[in-house]
Amino acid sequence: MKGNGAAANGLAVVDVDGHLCEPEALWDRYVERDYRPLARAALWRGVDDEGNRVTVLNGAPVRDLNRSRLDRLAIWRPGLRPEDIGALDPNAFHPPNPGGSDPEARLADMDAMGVGQAVLFPTLFSEHLPLVANPDAAAVLARAYNDWARDFASSSPERLFPVAVLPLQSPLHARRELERVARDGFRAVCLRPMFYDVPVIEPAGAGQARAGEGSVYFSVRPPRGVFLNHPHFRPLWERIARLDLVACVHPSLGIANPEPTSAGSYIERVAERLGLGHTVAEPTACLQDNGLFLVAACFQGLLEDLPRLRLALCHAGASWLPLALEKAETFLWLEIPGVFGRRTRPVSLEPAEVARAHPLVVSFDSWESSVAAMPDLFETQAAWSSRYPQHDASAPAEALATLGRHGVPDAIVERLMGQNARALFRLPSP
């Protein structure tokens, strides 16, 4: 194990939201030979003969997440400032940070940053895997990614902790992969808050015939957009809780998504219509997707029904959390027919009360002054994230400076920078 990432001030820092960058070798080495044509047709990202990035989804090229040759998803390195990245020529090729896909380079960067342990999320598979149309292909790809991420982390199992992906296109495939990664020692799974086009099984209507006394028929409705906390997914949430894994709700940018799935593509269309000349999905879409998830979970009683479910809300900052809980609390008890509709799953506790009592953390970014200004709200439930190696990544030093300017007590700083994440994910002591 190379180094230990000890920060200069002695803090045992945990990065609760770093990213991996899926290499082409994932398809060549981790997808079984017989399934490689299926997997590559469903989802693949590589470089063509002219050095251009190509992403294939469901058999057709899709818009790349980068608007230039600058690979902002893997451009940051320790020591780079935003203005340094902004000064790079967007039309020239810049080698991506190898730490996104090479564990030795990752550990070296963690040492340079002063990060002891890191929770690792997908990048391409977060954005595109939920959109794979073929459930069997999604299962093959999820298995390949999880095997690759497991091997990546095996270089330093006390410092690197990958988050597994699940093929949510099929309840059976998702459950099988969930059970498998739990056996393999994964501590967490990644769930993107969006609308999924999946066949939904529902009780048959009262007018349908029944075979005999006490028998129940079910009908399968055609694929339609159902959100992550729809009853269709409830058995999966329950199984995650029983397996004692952390459910990581982690949005993705979504600018290449069909518009009804998540907020990113709609926000980009609005930005283009306004003539802003700059992407605005990134600073807003993730907040909206995570906020929608939490409010829906509050209204539908997910946290009350599953009090032991460990939950991490990542990649959207933390500032939105108290506002979302307060607004949910304001509207929860209103029952206005024809406007909000009546609650189908009544809840008995107020959202802020449930969230405070729940095993839950929300990630915060180094520059996020609201966490430093309101430490009483975030003391036990916020955890620092780097976003490494994306273009807006940062090191612990920036977060410590932000907390220091606001005079946050040392004991709370230790919680925010490591203890809260270590407790939720049950990481080994550094």
Which residue shows structure tokens 């989804």?
57
Q: Cα 193 vs. chain centroid, distance in angstroms?
A: 8
Q: Does domain 14-20+101-208+216-425 have CATH number 3.40.50.2300?
A: no
Closest C-alpha to 86, from 392, 310, 401, 404: 392
Cβ atoms of 73 and 169 within 8 Å: the answer is no
Concatenate the DSSP letters of all residues of 223-281 into one string: EEEEETTSGGGHHHHHHHHHHT-EEEE-----TTS-TTT-HHHHHHHHHHHHT--S--H
- Pairing state of beta strands 14-19 and 195-203? unpaired
Q: Is 313 helix (H, G, I), strand (E, B) or coil?
A: strand
Q: Model confidence at 66, in pLDDT bands (50, 70, 90)?
A: confident
What does pTM read for this prediction? 0.91
- pLDDT over threshold 50, residue 207: no
Burial category of 76 from C-beta neighbours within 10 Å (exposed 0-12, middle 13-18, buried 19 and up): buried
Of 42 and 282, more confident: 42
Closest C-alpha to 43, from 152, 127, 165, 149: 127
Closest C-alpha to 17, from 425, 428, 426: 425
C-alpha 419/C-alpha 266 separation (Å) is 37
Angle among Cα 99, 188, 131 to the nearest 5 degrees reads: 80
Of 279 and 17, more confident: 17
Of 207 and 11, more confident: 11
User: Does residue 389 have a cis peptide bond before it, meaning omega lies within 30 degrees of 0?
Assistant: yes
Of 248 and 295, more confident: 248
- Residues linked to residue 160 through DSSP beta bridges, in sequence order: 118
Which has the minimum average pLDDT: 90-99, 233-242, 288-297?
90-99
